[in-house]
Amino acid sequence: MNLLSLSTRFVAAAAVATALSTSASAQIELTTNGDFETGDLTGWTQFETGPGQQSVTTSNPSAGTYAGNINNDVALSNSLWKQANIGIGQVAIGDKVTISFDARGSYAVPGGVAFAEFFQELSGGGTSGGGILGGAPLAISGDPEEWTTFTFDWTITGDVSGGVTLQLGATNGPAGGTNMFYDNVSVTVPEPASMALVGLGGLAMLARRRKA
């Protein structure tokens, strides 16, 4: 084996290792308009409990120009929106999904809260799992203008033929007045290892050509 062949194989091996490492860390973003920078609620499925509760605002966004706002003024209700049935064909059993977003606002007293909920969706309807992220209401700052960043990891344990759904809301007790702002909403899943294998095949072909 000559030095050129050894060098070619070394370079190919190093490139493959880099590709595999990059693939292991690369993430696929599943949300649409999670930062609200379209200036509207494109990508979000809305469930208002009264007219005009949900909007996009330029008032004190966490980043960029816009943030989303849910101002629920109806007692004993949950005004919410969803990134619904996202990641179909991209999320599989065993994947670790990372959910993150920024939130601020104020809770109605008594009983006002806000939850982040995540669901594993079945094709045709229903779920194979889900629940409240963190198991409790969002612990936002007591200062309604101060943003708090939340990050949760969720391992897919069941059928996700219908993708996954992230749900954010503003819930009231007997009094209306829970006012929530959300920004930089992200749901990511690791890029499949198969993408690295595509790169491996290309490098192998390159190495054979150089050897020839």
| pLDDT band at residue 4 under the 50/70/90 scheme | very low
Measuring CA to CA, which residue among 114, 105, 49, 95 is closest to residue 193?
Answer: 95
Measuring CA to CA, which residue among 125, 36, 126 is closest to residue 83?
Answer: 36
Q: Compute the residue count for the chain.
A: 212
Residue 20 has pLDDT above 50, yes or no: no
Helical (H) or strand (E) element with 18: helix 3-25
Mean pLDDT over each residue of the chain, to the nearest integer: 87
Of 204 and 174, the one with more pLDDT: 174
